């Protein structure tokens, strides 16, 4: 049996270029929100994209993995500020997610910079979203501490 199964849904109306969709998280944690091709490939204008949603998932997953690893090592973080940037581009004429850049600034009082960077590298390799993307998307990491 799976640990968890989560569901989201979209109702799309119209063609790709001029149509739009409404994304709904079945958990109810977020209100439904709009998605369009323009928000994906041109300008967001208050709408989201699959790439932004993947970046949000990766940032939250990585932060959990890093917090867990640091805590297990006896050096729990005071604060982790994590960002993820997902890049969408054409590869051989085909729209493709090409890279994910993770950035973390951590306040971990009991750990030096190199120890923090090593913990961040381990979290990058071990987080479930990283593992789902691995081999398909280049994932980079920048880790700094205060």
Give the model's pLDDT for residue 88.
96
Structure tokens at 120: 């961040």
CA distances in angstroms from 44 to 37, 50, 52, 53, 66, listed in the order given: 9, 12, 10, 13, 30
Pair type for strands 138-145 and 94-107: parallel
Q: How far apart are CA 128 and CA 76, in angstroms?
A: 20
What lies within 8 Å, CB to CB, of 30 at 6+ separation is: none
% of the chain exceeding 70 in pLDDT: 100
Give the model's pLDDT for residue 69.
98
Pair type for strands 94-107 and 79-91: antiparallel
Residues 11-69: pLDDT tens digits?
999 999 999 999 999 999 999 999 999 999 988 899 999 999 999 999 999 999 999 99
Which residues share a beta bridge with 95? 90
What lies within 8 Å, CB to CB, of 100 at 6+ separation is: 54, 55, 58, 84, 85, 86, 87, 133, 137, 138, 139, 140
Give the model's pLDDT for residue 125.
97
Assign 102 to helix, strand or coil: strand
Q: Could you tell me the end-to-end alpha-carbon distance of the chain, in angstroms, rounded to an integer? A: 41
Q: Mean of the per-residue pLDDT values for the chain?
A: 96
CATH numbers and ranges of domains, the chain? 8-41 (no CATH), 50-145 (3.30.300.20)
- Sheet containing 20-25: which strands, arranged edge to edge? 8-13, 20-25, 33-35
């Amino acid at each position: 049996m799976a640990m968890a199964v989560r569901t989201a849904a979209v109702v799309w109306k119209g063609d790709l270029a001029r149509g739009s969709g409404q994304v709904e998280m079945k958990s109810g944690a977020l209100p439904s929100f709009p998605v369009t091709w323009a928000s994906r490939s041109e300008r967001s204008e208050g709408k989201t994209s699959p790439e932004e949603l993947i970046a949000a998932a990766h940032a939250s997953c990585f932060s959990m993995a890093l917090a867990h690893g640091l805590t297990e090592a006896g050096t729990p973080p005071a604060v982790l500020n994590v960002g993820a940037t997902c890049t969408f581009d054409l590869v051989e004429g085909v729209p493709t997610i090409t890279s994910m850049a993770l950035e973390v600034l951590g306040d971990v009082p009991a750990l030096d910079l190199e120890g923090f960077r090593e913990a961040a590298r381990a979290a990058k390799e071990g987080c479930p979203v990283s593992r789902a993307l691995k081999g398909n998307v280049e994932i980079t990491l920048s880790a700094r501490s205060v």
